Amino acid sequence: MNRSAALAAVLTLLVVSTCGSNDASPPASPPDQPSVVDALSEARGAAIDGDPSLARTLFFDRAHDRLHELAAAVSDIDRSIEARLLEAEQRVEADLSIDRAPDLAAHLAALAAVAADATEANGDPRP
């Protein structure tokens, strides 16, 4: 097993054990919710505006669970994208665990870019 595959396997186990979800169905945005990429962009905007509390709320209420669903959906398609997505999500979650993380906006932007890659890899139009 190469290093990327091993990392993806470990991250997948971590996600499943911490979130308790093993649903591999593709994520869908309800009609009244923005796409996961748009939700991440909204959270980034809040971070840029100096409101980490709002960024945290937007991330966890609108993107977090759907990111895990997206990771599960692409796990059999492209494990490297899955690993990149989960790593980027972990960076954002680490930022959100401290007050005024200086790189939060940049990490949210990076996560949105990987989420767009994962969405496209899943066969959906790139957001």
**Count of the separate structural domains present in the chain:** 1
CB burial of 97-108 (b: ≥16 within 10 Å; e: otherwise) equals: eeeebeebbebb
- pLDDT tens for the chain, 127 residues: list them: 555 444 444 444 444 444 444 444 444 545 567 899 999 999 999 999 999 999 999 999 999 999 999 999 999 999 999 999 999 999 999 999 998 899 999 999 999 999 999 999 999 998 8
Give the pLDDT score at 10: 44
CA dist list (Å): 70 to 19, 45, 88: 14, 22, 13
Q: What confidence score (pLDDT) does residue 100 get?
A: 83
* CA–CA separation, 17 and 90 (whole Å): 14
Q: Is residue 127 assigned to a domain?
A: no
Within a domain: 13: yes
Task: For residue 26, give its domain range.
Answer: 3-121
Does some domain include residue 10?
Answer: yes
Query: For residue 58, is it within any domain?
Result: yes
